[in-house]
């Protein structure tokens, strides 16, 4: 299977190609460079493997939450590819991508929990919790946006090996409830979404029938007041 994955939901910009179980990726931290960098990354990845866009079987993208502008960039590019090539799209949570990155980089075992926090601006965080199951993050509850003092973890019996904090929103740990901090055994604030994790999460989701057509490849902002306009002429 050949799948192209994109992420521009944070200051990181990345593209990854899944080719029958092997992943190649281009990644760069460039808070204002997504538009300039993304398409050259895609062209490099395809050329490296001797592929054309028409050779792809599916697409995936980090659909948010995250930077409003960044999420819109990846959504627009993916919609364009999907519409032009008639390819299915797998939307992947940006928070889940960071949870998977934490699992892989810190070798978290099944039974661990990952609490992911992004800086949502306006003194808020995007928040979601995940249980490590069979090498993948399983979301517990829903994604939400809230003030740091309002974050919460599932009941203690959700995990058997403690909680790990991942994402830049953990810089606000001092503003979180004391009960949260005492249950977190380690924190990594350097983790941001990457297209390689998006691809890894997209493959099982694709096989589970979670791919959608171009017009349903929509961003998730979490904040209700934000709306998305699709590409011109698309209802």
Tens of pLDDT along the chain (235 residues) come to 999 999 999 999 999 999 999 999 999 999 889 999 999 999 999 999 999 999 999 999 999 999 999 999 999 999 999 999 999 999 999 999 999 999 999 999 999 999 999 999 999 999 999 999 999 999 999 999 999 999 999 987 666 678 999 999 999 999 999 989 889 999 999 999 999 999 999 999 999 999 999 999 999 999 764 444 444 444 3
E strands, 44-119, where?
Answer: 58-62, 89-92, 113-119
CATH hierarchy code of domain 95-188: 3.30.420.40
Least Cα distance to 103 among 93, 116, 92, 90 occurs for: 116
- DSSP track, 196-226: HHHHHHHHHHHHTT--B-GGG-----SSTT-
**2-93+193-216 and 95-188 share one CATH topology?**
yes
Quote the CA–CA distance of 9 and 119 in Å, as a whole number.
12
Least Cα distance to 186 among 65, 103, 100, 66 occurs for: 103
Which pLDDT does position 45 carry in this prediction? 98
Task: Point out which residues pair with 13 in neighbouring strands.
Answer: 28
Which pLDDT does position 232 carry in this prediction? 46
Least Cα distance to 68 among 223, 197, 193, 198 occurs for: 223
C-beta of residue 37 within 8 angstroms of C-beta of residue 28? yes
In whole angstroms, how far apart are CA 131 and each of 113, 160, 205?
5, 10, 17
Which pLDDT does position 159 carry in this prediction? 66
Kindly list the domain boundaries of the chain, sorted by start residue.
2-93+193-216, 95-188
CATH classification number, 2-93+193-216, choose in 3.30.420.40, 3.40.50.720, 3.40.50.300, 3.40.120.10 = 3.30.420.40
Q: Is 205 exposed, middle or buried (0-12, 13-18, 19+ CB in 10 A)?
A: middle
Q: What is the pTM of this model?
A: 0.93
Angle between helices 195-207 and 94-105 (to 10 degrees): 110
């Amino acid at each position: 299977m050949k799948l192209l994955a994109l992420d521009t939901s944070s200051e990181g910009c990345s593209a990854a190609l899944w080719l029958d179980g092997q992943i190649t990726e281009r990644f760069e931290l460039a808070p204002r460079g997504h538009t300039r960098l993304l398409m050259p990354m895609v062209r490099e990845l395809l050329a490296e493997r001797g592929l054309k866009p028409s050779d792809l079987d599916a697409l995936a993208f980090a659909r948010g939450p995250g930077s409003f502008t960044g999420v819109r960039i990846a959504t627009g590019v993916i919609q364009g590819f999907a519409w032009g090539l008639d390819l299915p799209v797998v939307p992947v949570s940006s928070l889940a991508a960071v949870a998977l990155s934490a699992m892989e980089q810190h070798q978290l075992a099944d039974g661990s929990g990952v609490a992911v926090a992004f800086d949502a601006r306006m003194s808020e965080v995007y928040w979601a919790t995940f249980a490590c199951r069979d090498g993948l993050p399983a979301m517990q509850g829903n994604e939400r946006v809230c003030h740091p003092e309002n974050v919460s973890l599932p009941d203690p019996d959700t995990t058997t090996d403690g909680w790990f904090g991942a994402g830049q929103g953990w810089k606000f740990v001092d503003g979180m409830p004391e009960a949260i901090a005492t249950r977190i055994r380690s924190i990594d604030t350097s983790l941001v979404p990457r297209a390689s994790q998006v691809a890894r999460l997209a493959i099982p989701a694709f096989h589970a029938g979670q791919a959608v057509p171009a017009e349903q490849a929509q961003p998730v902002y979490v904040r209700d007041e934000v709306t998305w306009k699709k590409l011109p002429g698309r209802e």
